Amino acid sequence: MSARNAFYAQSGGVTAVINATACGLIQEARRFPERIGKVYAGRDGIIGALTEDLIDTSLESDADIARLRHTPGGAFGSCRYKLKSLETHRAQYERLIEVFKAHDIGYFFYNGGNDSMDTAWKVSQIAEKMGYPVVCVGVPKTVDNDLPHTDCCPGFGSVAKYVATSIREAGYDVVSMARTSTKIFVLEVMGRHAGWITAACGLAAENNGEPPHILLFPEVPFNPEAFVARVDACVKQYGYCTVAVSEGLSDAEGRLIAESGAKDAFGHSQLGGVGQVVAQLIKDKLGLKYHWALADYLQRSARHLASRTDLEQAHALGVAAVDLALQGKNAVMATICRLADEPYRWEISDAPLAEIANVERKMPAEFITPDGFHITEACRAYLQPLIEGEEPPPFRGGLPDYIRLKNIAVPKKLPAFAV
């Protein structure tokens, strides 16, 4: 069997460790030159395939590919671009196959979250219908940690470590000044429908009374009266109160507490500012001075504080994706299976893309305390191993020393295609 080329693309919001996955995938592909010719990366994700804007990763040195393990962001560019149903966007799916044919691509690796797994699944379907042999493997990535059939998602462990560290440090700051100044601190973190990142903030509170005192999850309808009462009780008992809140916090009718009205490319509501809303609520009801912060991109790009567990899993899944493809496993996603909590042990497996596409895994009820304001010990046992270990990047001149690849384009062979 002659070697065929591979296509790899990064999709959706990037993370501190998605490039570690790219590193593992490219390194593993280079081990099998008799099976895989070149690995082409899509410039700016799936858009690179549609526009035939392919990057030849074979022109990057082994040393530079290895440096991807320590570099945040998306080395080849990512995008928020959803291919809808085969019926609606059939021309786009057919264009993908045309590009694959033109460049003899026999392996398709899509590195992303829920929508990305849906795209990978649909590409496998259209390829089968068109009689074009391509092995499609999904590679998980999402800071939201909401993909099913995997113990956790690469990117989440590092975000979890960052937000837990941040709210612990902010707590030390606030308590220092609470007697005469700010008594309230609110940290808004990512999480549209699933409160995993907010839950991770709870790891900072190892003992009763330690920050964060209150966690607000998307899974728990927001009750303003109960919330204000809890804040008041915390201030009276501890002298201050810290709160972590998910951007997707909603009321009992399912209305988002903070929604701009705009939509992103995936059709999701644009969020942001719920931290200020709940902080102002405290000001209005209790008259307490507050500060609030929006972790935003900082939480998902903080490679300097990445979890070693997360980094190792991200790299291993890139390696596994190639191995699965070479085994002929089509329309699957590489997954992480937890074998034990303490000491944490895990292994790589796989699951059908058809069971993963567009499915969101939310926080289970047993991970949230009965009052809805914190995490349980079961949640702590799940989360704790995912933030363990440090593997800081190399530093130069006092700053992290990251790599920017050359990203040289492959010559085009087809007519232009508008997206």
Q: Does the pLDDT at position 261 exceed 70? A: no
Q: Give the tokens for residue 170.
A: 């902010």
The proportion of the chain whose per-residue pLDDT surpasses 70, expressed as a percent, equals 96
For 101-105, 267-271, 378-382, which range has the lowest pLDDT when averaged over its residues?
Answer: 267-271
For 82-91, 184-193, 306-315, which range has the lowest pLDDT when averaged over its residues?
Answer: 82-91
Which pairing describes strands 36-42 and 259-263: parallel, antiparallel, or unpaired? unpaired
Under a CB-based contact definition with an 8 Å cutoff, are residues 308 and 13 in contact?
Answer: no
CA-based end-to-end distance of the chain: 35
Model's pTM, two decimal places? 0.95
Name the pLDDT band for 89 (thresholds 50, 70, 90).
Answer: confident
Name the pLDDT band for 158 (thresholds 50, 70, 90).
Answer: very high
User: Looking at this protein, which amino acid is placed at residue 335?
Assistant: T
Q: What is the distance between the alpha carbons of residues 233 and 392, in angstroms, rounded to a whole number?
A: 40
**Is residue 144 among the annotated active site residues?**
yes
Residue found by looking up tokens 């390829």 in the block: 127
Q: Give the tokens for residue 371.
A: 């009052």
Q: Can you tell me whether residue 261 is helix, strand or coil?
A: strand
State the pLDDT at residue 267. 52
The chain-wide mean pLDDT, for the chain, equals: 95
State the pLDDT at residue 303. 98
Q: What is the distance between the alpha carbons of residues 384 and 412, in angstroms, rounded to a whole number?
A: 48
State the pLDDT at residue 268. 52
Q: Does the pLDDT at position 264 exceed 50? A: no
Name the pLDDT band for 271 (thresholds 50, 70, 90).
Answer: low
**Chain segment 184-238, per-residue pLDDT in tens:** 999 999 999 999 999 999 999 999 999 999 999 999 999 999 999 999 999 999 9
Burial track 383-415 (b if 16+ CB lie within 10 A, e otherwise): bbbbbebebebeeeeeeeebbebeeeebeeeee
Name the pLDDT band for 378 (thresholds 50, 70, 90).
Answer: very high
Top pLDDT among 271 and 373 is at 373
DSSP for 175-211, written as a single string = HHHTTTS--EEEEEE--SS--HHHHHHGGG--STTPS
Q: Give the tokens for residue 236.
A: 């009276």
Burial of 210 (C-beta count, 10 Å sphere; 0-12/13-18/19+): middle
State the pLDDT at residue 348. 98
Q: Give the tokens for residue 32.
A: 């099998």
Exactly one of 144, 146, 310, 350 is catalytic; which is it?
Answer: 144
Burial of 13 (C-beta count, 10 Å sphere; 0-12/13-18/19+): buried
Residue 91, C-beta contacts closer than 8 angstroms, at least 6 positions apart = none
Burial track 51-75 (b if 16+ CB lie within 10 A, e otherwise): bbbbbbbbebeeebbebbbbbbbbb
Q: What is the distance between the alpha carbons of residues 185 and 211, in angstroms, rounded to a whole number?
A: 10
Q: Where are the beta strands (DSSP E) in 264-311?
A: 269-271, 290-294
Under a CB-based contact definition with an 8 Å cutoff, are residues 99 and 344 in contact?
Answer: no
State the pLDDT at residue 149. 98
Name the pLDDT band for 84 (thresholds 50, 70, 90).
Answer: confident
Name the pLDDT band for 144 (thresholds 50, 70, 90).
Answer: very high
